[in-house]
Every structure is written in C-alpha cells, then in structure tokens.
Structure 1
Amino acid sequence: MRTFLLLSSLVLSTGAAHAVDEAAAIELAKNNGCLSCHSAKEKIVGPAYSDVADKYRNDKDAVANLVQAIQYGSKGKWGRIPMPAHPNMSAADIKTLAQWVMTAQH
C-alpha cells in the first residue's frame, strides 16, 4: 500500500530510539485485521495512524498506552465505534505495531 511508504523506521519512546521493522509491522497489521479499520493517512472506521501519532506525539507513555489499546481494545477515544481487543496477539507483536503506529509521518 503506497501510503505506508510514508512511514519511517524509527520511533521515540521514553526518550530512546527503537528500530521498527516496517515490513514486519505492515504484515502484522494486514494479518490481524488492522487495515480493515485503519490506514496511514485517512480515517476509515478508526483513526488514521498519522492522527494517532499526532495525538500522542508528546506523550512519553504513548507506546505503552497503544499497547494497552491494541491488546484490550478501547472505546470513546476516537468516537462511538470501539476498537476490539486483540488478546491472541503476542506482546512482542503488539509492541511492534504500537511503535510502528507512532512512526506515522505528516
């Protein structure tokens, strides 16, 4: 998907840079249904990844908060439609996705 080329390969989390394997993160997003509701730059059902990154850009706990939202789901943060939980994803995969989301370029 062309819009994902806009994503960089680094994320800042608690002051340290973490490399994100973009290709692996995109595959995780595809395989876990994330791209059914989200895209890099445009709202589908859920917010665009760039909007999520904007909202949490200065939050030192952004990755940890996104991990929680991905694993347990969330509601009310972005409108009426809740984000479903992903309890069967590994903690490592969830963290990879959360870090990747925070790399969205503007």
Structure 2
Amino acid sequence: MKALLAILATLAAAGVSANVAAATPAELAKQYNCLACHSVDKKVVGPSFKDVAAKYKGQAGAEDKLVDKVKKGGSGSFGPVPMSPNPQVPDADVRTLVKWVLAQ
C-alpha cells in the first residue's frame, strides 16, 4: 500500500492524473469543481464553456494560454470576477479540460 501511495504521489507531483479509468472531460469538470462557476451553455459565476470557445476560436496559442489561466487563475477576460487558481489539478487533466472547452 505504501508503494502505491508513493507512486501516486510521484505521478501527481509530475502532473500526471491518478485517474485509473480515463475520465471524460465532463467528469473531470465535475471532479475539479469547474461546474461550481461554469456550465457548458450558460453563464454562472464565470462564462459558459461555449462563450470561452467562441472568444478564443481560431486564436493561435489559445490552448496554452487557457491552460496557464486555469492553473494560475486570472481576471478581466470576461468581466471583473476573477478565476481562482487551480494548481492542484494535474497538467494532463487541465489540458484535457481546455481542449474540451475549446471544442464547444
């Protein structure tokens, strides 16, 4: 058991998701509480995922920019309410979520 926990801790430190079964992006959004502030098609506290996709459609580097924003937080893109940083979310899961949001 200790060995398994050590492996999971190492993976988490490296930004690799510990999800054994591949979670869908919608499941990841629920798991990491994205849906507390966002929804797919309606503004909640933050913009809808469809609004984010529309704003960044066709922009070079949009995926990397949004990955950085999810990890570090940000404000001003969609109004005065800041987005909290999410450094605890593994990089691979953030990238999966961002790709999903941009595909809306």
Alignment size in residue pairs: 82
Q: In structure 1, how many angstroms separate the alpha carbons of the residues matched to 2:74 and 2:46?
A: 11
Q: In structure 1, how many angstroms separate the alpha carbons of the residues matched to 2:86 and 2:24?
A: 17
Counterpart position of 1:73: 73
User: After superposition, where does 1:5-84 map in structure 2 within 5 Å?
Assistant: 24-84=24-84
Code of the aligned partner of 2:57: R
TM (norm. structure 2) is 0.76
In the TM superposition, residue 80 of structure 1 has moved relative to its aligned partner by 1.1
Q: In structure 1, how many angstroms separate the alpha carbons of the residues matched to 2:81 and 2:61?
A: 24
RMSD: 0.9
**Bigger proportion of residues as strand:** 1
Based on CA coordinates, which of the two structures has the bigger radius of gyration? 2
Consecutive aligned runs of 4 or more in structure 1 exceeding 2 Å deviation: none
Counterpart position of 1:6: none
Secondary structure in structure 2 of the residue aligned to 1:71:
helix
Structure 1: state its 5+ residue gaps.
1-22
In the TM superposition, residue 43 of structure 1 has moved relative to its aligned partner by 0.4
Identical pairs, percent = 41
Structure 2: state its 5+ residue gaps.
1-22
Q: In structure 2, how many angstroms separate the alpha carbons of the residues matched to 1:97 and 1:74?
A: 17
Write out per-residue CA displacement over residues 38-97 of structure 1, whole angstroms, 9 at most, x where no aligned residue: 111110000011110000001021111110111000111111110000001111001001
